[in-house]
Structure 1
């Protein structure tokens, strides 16, 4: 098995409507996303996937969605708040925690990878010292 990893970054804001402290307010993060993909064998072109192709997948499936967006859970309170906001809003069924963002990103990237490449690991930094990971 061989793996490669590519790093991405995006800026996004969110609020956790069920949070008891400061995170219940709209605030932003400079997210860093590490995407690790694997394959059993190196392909005929001497790669498992071209970094450029991986970048195109993540750009299309993740960055276009989240970069410079406000990410909110679908609920009445957030619907009221959003009426006054002139920004791109991405609505989620759950609170936009790092765990839920990882789960969404996992599904998007996994479904877009060509065979025989598969998603092995995601690491999403919300801050320099706080991150979540998903691993197969």
Structure 2
């Protein structure tokens, strides 16, 4: 089994609605996302061209998150930010690192070539705090 990893960065703000702590306030992160794919077969001596992996992530994930306010679509957030004239990404769930990984996974897997698997995702909110997704 072979694997490759590409690292992406993006800037976003979010809040966790009705959370009893400072994360209930709008705040930002310099996110770092590690995307690892794996497989057994090489095509043109590569598991997957890094350019293709970058394109998949840029189109379906990074362009959505980068410089966006990420919010759960609920009544409280709609009241507070419904008229906000800036980039908002509305999610079905609270935009925790864990939920963001599940959202990312759902957008990456369908775009990968058939013989390439999504092996893991690591999303860093800070230099010392991150969440991991594995199948």
TM-score between both structures, scaled by the size of structure 2: 0.97
- 1:18-73 CA distance string (max 9 Å, x none): 31011001100000000000111222x00011000000000001011100000100
Question: Aligned partners of 2:83, 2:55: CA distance in 1, in Å?
Answer: 33
Question: Aligned partners of 1:87, 1:127: CA distance in 2, in Å?
Answer: 24
Secondary structure of residue in 1 paired with 2:38: strand
Partner of 2:117: 118
- 1:82-129 CA distance string (max 9 Å, x none): 135321111111100000000000110111111211100000000111
The list of structure 1 runs, each at least 4 consecutive aligned residues, that deviate by more than 3 angstroms after superposition, is none
Partner of 2:87: 88
Question: Aligned partners of 1:47, 1:5: CA distance in 2, in Å?
Answer: 13
Partner of 2:24: 24
- Which residues in structure 2 correspond to 1:67-106 (within 5 Å)? 67-106=66-105
* Structure 2: runs of 5+ lacking an equivalent: none
Moved more, 102-111 or 84-93: 84-93
Partner of 2:37: 37
TM-score between both structures, scaled by the size of structure 1: 0.96
Question: Aligned partners of 2:70, 2:120: CA distance in 1, in Å?
Answer: 23
Task: Please give the root-mean-square deviation of Cα atoms over the aligned residues, in Å.
Answer: 0.9
Secondary structure of residue in 1 paired with 2:126: coil
Question: Aligned partners of 1:104, 1:35: CA distance in 2, in Å?
Answer: 13
